[in-house]
Amino acid sequence: RPKLPQYNSIDDAVKLLKEAKNIIVLTGAGISTSLGIPDFRSKDTGLYSKLAHLGLSDPQEVFDIHVFREDPSIFFSIAKDILPTEKKFSPTHGFIKLLQDQGKLLTNYTQNIDNIEANAGVLAENMVQCHGSFATATCVKCDFKVAGDAIFNDIKEGKIPECSACRQRIDEDALKPQGLKRKRSSNGNQKDRKDDESSDEDDYDIPTPGVMKPDITFFGEDLPDEFGSRLVGHDRQLADLVIVIGTSLKVAPVAEVPGVLPRDVPQIYISRTPVSHTDFDIDLLGDCDVVVSELCRRAGWNLQHPMIPPD
């Protein structure tokens, strides 16, 4: 995507912000690090740099759906560290809310699962949580859904949460006279259990309840339908400015969003680290809280708890 030559400076960014009516804000973990929540890929502080003890070939496997189905304990051993807790938000979340208040926020596409946008007052209708969230959890066996906080205690204690609906069915079945059901018998015929005491335990289907998986999008799972339908079916025609904040843009399909939008829509990148695989029209490199505070100062906008740049 070739750069638009007319935009370069921070003042160009301020002008674009003031004129824009339909802004797409695409966010990643970098907007929450000032709250003490680690991002994923920063070299020494990111979550993935701290997972060597798990012995995975790639730390991203903690969010891999196939690994989760095989052994959910890997994910639940770190889940408590990424659980949203306090009702706080950063100046950058406040900036997104400010754009909403001004009627300029078309959509905030967030990859974050911390749900902190809501703390700042960003409305659900103005947001797509591209990688889901901890707001709900679903049984991997029977699809039973619960509110996310119903499993927070288990997560905090490092336990694997089990499905209460599965558990109830199992308990009810156990009260029925047939008890355990035959899965298969060694000679392929259904036999009464009593006649077959020598047979292997594996011949019986010992029922276990499903594991409750938070509805965050793991690698190998589809993004919510709204991601594609809203982006391609609606926002692509309306957006007049794109602001990408605090994401390394390493994970598809979110990483493809800038390329999907018409090339005459200006794109601004705000982050500590530049990306090499996409060309933005304006790069504002630095702490995102500082950058958005400065943008608002220059625009004459009143941002809640702005950040003063360090000397």
Across the strands, what pairs with 242? 24, 267
Give 25 or 166: the residue with its C-beta nearer to ligand OAD: 25
Is 288 part of any known ligand binding site? Answer: no
Residue number, 41 or 104, with CB nearest to ligand OAD: 41
Closest residue by Cα to residue 102 from 129, 126, 128: 126
Choose among ligand OAD, Zn ion, none what residue 139 binds, the Cβ cut-off being 5 to 8 Å by kind: Zn ion
| Alpha-carbon gap, residue 235 to 229, rounded angstroms | 9
d(CA 35, CA 33) in angstroms, rounded, equals 5
- State yes or no: 130 annotated in a binding site: no
Q: Which residues does the annotation mark as catalytic?
A: 131
> What whole-number distance in Å separates Cα of residue 3 and Cα of residue 115?
33
| Minimum CB distance to Zn ion smaller for 141 or for 272 | 141
Choose the contact partner of 142 out of ligand OAD, Zn ion, none; CB within 5 to 8 A by kind.
Zn ion
d(CA 100, CA 21): 10
- The residue behind tokens 């047939």 is 178
Instruction: State the minimum distance, in angstroms, from the CB of residue 172 to Zn ion.
Output: 13
Which residue, 163 or 261, is less far from Zn ion as judged by CB? 163
Residue 272 interacts with which of Zn ion, ligand OAD, none, CB < 5 to 8 Å by class: ligand OAD
Q: From the list ligand OAD, Zn ion, none, which binds 166 (C-beta under 5 to 8 Å, kind-based)?
A: Zn ion
Q: What is the smallest separation between the CB atom of 48 and ligand OAD, expressed in angstroms?
A: 8
Task: Name the site residues for ligand OAD (rule: CB under 6 A).
Answer: 28-30, 33-34, 39-42, 46, 60, 63, 111, 131, 217-218, 246-248, 250-251, 271-273, 287-288
The CA-CA-CA angle for residues 187, 190, 194, to 5°, reads 95
CB atoms within 10 A of CB 193: 15
Task: Print the binding letters for residues 160-189 with Zn ion: x by CB under 5 A, - otherwise.
Answer: ---x-xx-----------------------
Give 10-14 contacts, CB < 8 A, sequence gap 24+: 10/282, 10/284, 10/294, 10/295, 10/298, 11/298, 12/282, 13/268, 13/282, 13/284, 13/295, 14/295, 14/298, 14/299
Contact set with Zn ion (CB under 5 A) = 139, 141-142, 144, 163, 165-166, 210
